[in-house]
């Protein structure tokens, strides 16, 4: 952090403390490889010293599993004595959350080790890809779209989740897509989510009732600060989960929480500006060849990118093909929601690509990092995207790994992915995902007893 940045942070903290004298505590947050927050809660009196000098937390927190437990074979936190990393506060993330018993301050933090960004912190991985764009005087503009489910807060007698009931009618929610009535019926919790987003300076866009019972989507506006856009996506997931609890509901970003309902997607819209703020994907009323090359790069790395876009065992249950529009092929097209990479209708030269592959449980930093890396790979090598697809694609592509084991093999063998994200990180990431999958499978399900006992 530069002296100027540190001075700006301290000024922002001083302004915050002056205008919010009622706040008693501050939560310091960071995001691990699984996409989950970890951190600590401190008295608000500590905030100014943290802004000035930073703080320490265990470096191994980034590589714990989904439940926050160490993984076999991941040496950080095990063989190295579990050292701390130094965390610096992220100024534009300072805000208030109010879903608890009292309002609290919160701020995100990013880590350094030996004066270098911690190489396996997901936020730093995304920054390294953005540095590659910056070196070419290119600047991505992005927008995230997230789907999520609301469920009953209590499970059924078989310990399975239960569909949510309409708060106004008491009936099981009807999966009527784009129903304004459904939004109205759930307006108490949805309005509370939007209010919390506003409190944290997260600008939201369209709200949609989706294809599943209790499923909704809330979009974000396009952002030219990619790191901030990814920060907001992580913060939004926390907001939805915590606000839902307040309303005695369970919110889930699980990729496929129910087999008979559509999955949850994380869609990303991306354009790229040059040093003159010109969209390099626009060529008047048609897309520039840069956009086609970028899509060529995405198609080229798609098999290797699947482990980032679908990072756990459940995530691959979403790729069934058919009506739920979760892409299962190496395809692209115009205004086609069944392909992997869609070019939406552009107005006033706003040409962009939409990546429709990732699930909502993907780590936003890593999902965006590998997407941007693929696009840059395609543009640098002028890769051919092939012909666009103008029909529905429902059949699974045999060249696309649709389970985590084969996806990780594709990742570790990919030269473009290793070149973009670094061999040390890619090897650690694949080891981490493989170790968690192995741990997850060390359970005997009731169905195994039903079938094989």
- Quick: pLDDT tens for 112-126: 988 899 999 999 999
Summarize pLDDT for 169-210 with one digit per residue, the tens: 999 999 999 999 999 999 999 999 999 999 999 999 999 999
* CB half-sphere exposure, 200, CA atoms < 13 A: 30
- The three-class DSSP label of residue 105 is strand
Indicate the pTM of the whole model. Answer: 0.96
- The three-class DSSP label of residue 19 is helix
pLDDT computed for residue 81 by the predictor: 78
Summarize pLDDT for 382-440 with one digit per residue, the tens: 999 999 999 999 888 999 999 999 999 999 999 999 999 999 999 999 999 999 999 99
CA–CA gap between residue 73 and residue 137 (Å, rounded):
40
CA–CA gap between residue 222 and residue 205 (Å, rounded):
9
Domains and CATH numbers, the chain: 3-118 (3.10.20.70), 131-452 (3.30.590.10)
CA–CA gap between residue 121 and residue 123 (Å, rounded):
6
Residue 428: count of CB within 10 angstroms of its CB: 19
Q: What is the DSSP letter of 110?
A: E
pLDDT category of residue 349 using cuts at 50, 70 and 90: confident
Summarize pLDDT for 63-113 with one digit per residue, the tens: 999 999 999 889 886 677 789 999 999 999 999 999 999 999 999 999 998
- Computed over every residue of the chain, the mean pLDDT equals 94
Q: Which of 452, 365, 357 shows the shortest CA–CA distance to 401?
A: 357
Q: Rg of the chain's alpha carbons, rounded to an integer?
A: 22
Say whether pLDDT at 136 is over 70. Answer: yes
CA–CA gap between residue 312 and residue 212 (Å, rounded):
21
- The three-class DSSP label of residue 16 is helix
CA 113 to chain CA centroid, Å, is 24
């Amino acid at each position: 952090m530069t002296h100027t940045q540190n001075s700006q942070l301290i000024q922002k903290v001083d302004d915050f403390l002056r205008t919010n004298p009622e706040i008693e505590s501050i939560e310091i947050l960071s995001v691990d490889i699984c996409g989950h927050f970890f951190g600590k809660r401190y008295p608000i009196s500590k905030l100014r010293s943290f802004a000035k000098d930073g703080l320490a937390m265990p470096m191994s927190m980034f590589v714990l599993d989904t439940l926050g437990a160490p993984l076999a074979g991941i040496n950080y936190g095990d063989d190295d004595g579990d050292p701390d990393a130094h965390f610096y506060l992220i100024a534009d993330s300072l805000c208030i959350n109010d879903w608890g018993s009292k309002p609290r301050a919160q701020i995100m933090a990013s880590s350094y080790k030996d004066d270098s960004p911690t190489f396996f912190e997901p936020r730093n991985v995304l920054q390294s890809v953005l540095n590659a764009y910056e070196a070419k005087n290119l600047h991505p503009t992005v927008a995230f779209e997230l789907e999520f489910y609301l469920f009953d807060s209590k499970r059924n007698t078989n310990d399975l989740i239960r569909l949510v009931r309409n708060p106004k009618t008491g009936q099981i929610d009807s999966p009527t897509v784009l129903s304004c009535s459904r939004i109205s019926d759930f307006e108490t919790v949805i309005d509370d989510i939007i209010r919390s987003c506003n409190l944290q300076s997260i600008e939201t866009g369209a709200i949609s009732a989706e294809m599943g019972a209790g499923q909704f989507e809330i979009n974000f506006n396009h952002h030219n600060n990619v790191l901030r856009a990814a920060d907001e996506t992580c913060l939004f997931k926390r907001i939805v989960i915590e606000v839902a609890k307040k309303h005695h509901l369970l919110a889930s970003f699980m990729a496929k929480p129910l087999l008979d309902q559509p999955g949850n997607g994380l869609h990303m819209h991306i354009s790229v500006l040059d040093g003159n703020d010109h969209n390099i994907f626009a060529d008047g009323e048609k897309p520039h060849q840069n956009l086609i090359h970028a899509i060529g790069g995405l198609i080229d790395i798609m098999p290797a990118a699947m482990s980032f876009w679908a990072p756990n065992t459940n995530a691959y249950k979403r790729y069934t093909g058919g009506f739920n529009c979760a892409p299962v092929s190496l395809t692209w097209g115009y205004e086609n929601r069944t392909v992997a990479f869609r070019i939406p209708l552009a107005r006033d030269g706003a040409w962009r690509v939409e990546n429709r592959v990732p699930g909502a449980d993907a780590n936003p930093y890593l999902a965006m990092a590998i997407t941007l890396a693929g696009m840059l790979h395609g543009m640098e090598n002028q890769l051919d995207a092939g012909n666009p697809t103008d029909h529905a694609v429902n059949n699974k592509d045999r060249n696309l790994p649709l389970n985590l084991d084969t996806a990780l093999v594709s990742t570790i063998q990919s030269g473009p992915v290793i070149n973009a994200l670094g061999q040390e990180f890619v090897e650690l990431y694949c080891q981490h995902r493989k170790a968690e999958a192995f741990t997850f499978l060390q359970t005997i399900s009731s169905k195994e007893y039903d079938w094989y006992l």
